[in-house]
A and B are shown apart, each in its own frame.
Chain A
Amino acid sequence: MRTGRRLIQDYWGILLILVAWQAWVIVNQFNPIVMPTPISVFDALITDPVLFLENTGITFAVALVGMTGGMIIGTSLAVATWLSPLLSGLVSPLAVLFSSVPVVALIPIIARLLGYNVSTEIAIVVIITFFPSFVFASSGLRALPPGSDDLFRVLGASRRATLFRLALPAAMPNLAIALRLAAAHAILAAMIAEFLMGTSGLGYLFAKTNDEFQTEQAFGTSIVATAISVAAFLLASFVERRVRSHFS
């Protein structure tokens, strides 16, 4: 009884959508090819779990590798602009420009430039996760505890010591935020890249089943994708909380 109420309080929105979906399909008497019910989608998921697991693995790997690369490159460039005011002046308007660019629109160009293969998908995830990492790392490197920069100067700290002992640790909470944003972007970007290039992974599976009117599988793919992005988001939020409590 208690847990039932709790469940409704916490998940009323999602339950509402599931119920409305089921009811809507029944009332309209849709053909399952057009619109399956939630129950038949779960059926499809259970009948061929290997197919879904395999493609989930591929998408997850692409997203993870790309995100790691994007975060490393973004943070490194932020450190470079921290070290060189000249570089910082040169790239800061570009950074503002690019942070408001609809990056998904760039995916077709990147695909054409690099060819249709897995490394291109990784490159796309790298580019898309690069921007939040760069922006948040740049501001994090400058968000120092009050008075600490004066302290480092009076104590005669070298540039290198200031970077490794002050600026980078101070940037950790911001990097954790970047991680949370990047985690959400990475899986979606990987899926869109797979969808457009038709190589492998959940995006490809979705494109294929959707084109072949295997609607139940297509919906199943979406639900699996949603589940892994929710999981990635929750994991990244957890990491963010831990990092934040350690570094501030």
Chain B
Amino acid sequence: MTGEAQFDPDGPAITATDVTKKFTLKGSGDGVLALQELSLAVATGEFVALLGPSGCGKSTLLRLMASLDRPTTGNVTVCGEPPDAIAARHAFGVAFQDHALLPWLTVYENIALPFKLAGRTPDDVAIREMIVLVGLDEFVSARPRQLSGGMRQRVSIARALILDPEVLLLDEPFGALDAVTRRQMNIELQRIWLRDQITTVLVTHSVDEAIFLADRVLVLSGRPGRIILEAIVPFDRPRDRSVMRSEEFHSLADELSLALEPSED
């Protein structure tokens, strides 16, 4: 089970073609060039991780895919359609760094929210199953402020997955966590992901996390972001901690870290 072979040959789920994104800032004349002529394709059912130095445009790229922003030039499609159409179909699942849980809703209600926004009646069985899956069954009626940081991130992941989305977009979903919790969350995310193998783009700062979770890792250059390295991850799933101790893992991590380094000065 390695490499591209397993993916749908019918064409990519996400494409970006020659995407440039320029932000105009108040006061400064030129503005900021966040992305330049970037192209990529994500196959259906593929898990892609994006690595890159801070400020290189990773979140910008994800926002373009999520229909939250438009490229200055170039084109982004999701499932062959403009991203807006996917949002209108309620077919995205997202989890961002600030978990964006609604403080006035319980854990259960927060996870049920995507159903309500899609105009569907919440599927009680599916929600309870999902809550068990993320290990929060004792906190069904707790409010976000009664949860720890890691528990909030889990709620946010559960909310992203509850509608069986066609595309999952994750922007540093574990950014706020300590190393140990983060590793646990990685293992949990893989377990949940293996259930449906949804097309996923994950933005992260952690090389280990990228390799552990992804089928393919892309490294972006410093601003303006372009893809400078692409690495296929050769490990079978489900992966466990022992993978991280393997020789292959270390050499891949070294290669990726090296690609990240020059732009860090």
Contacts and interface: CB of A to CB of B under 8 A. Distances in A.
A and B touch in the complex (CB under 8 A): yes
Interface of A: 145-148, 150-158, 161, 165-166, 169, 172, 246-248
Contacts of A147: 96-100
B191 to A, nearest CB: 24
Interface stretch (B112-120, B176-184, B194-202, B214-222): B112-120
B28 to A, nearest CB: 25
B102 A156 contact: no
9 contacts: A145-B103, A148-B100, A150-B63, A150-B96, A152-B117, A154-B68, A154-B169, A156-B89, A247-B103
Contacts of B98: 146-147
B169 to A, nearest CB: 8
Contacts of B67: 153-154
A144 B55 CA distance: 25
B88 interface: yes
Contacts of A165: 102, 113, 116-117
Nearest to A147: B100
A152 B117 CA distance: 8
Contacts, number: 67
B100 A145 contact: yes
Contacts of B113: 155, 165
B147 interface: no
Contacts of A169: 102, 104
Given A153-B67, A154-B94, A148 B114 contact: no
A155 B96 contact: no
B114 A155 contact: yes
B104 A157 contact: no
Contacts of A166: 102
Nearest to B66: A154
B90 interface: yes
A151 B100 contact: yes
Q: Which 9 A-B pairs have the closest CB atoms?
A: A147-B100, A157-B117, A156-B87, A147-B98, A156-B90, A247-B104, A146-B98, A155-B117, A151-B100
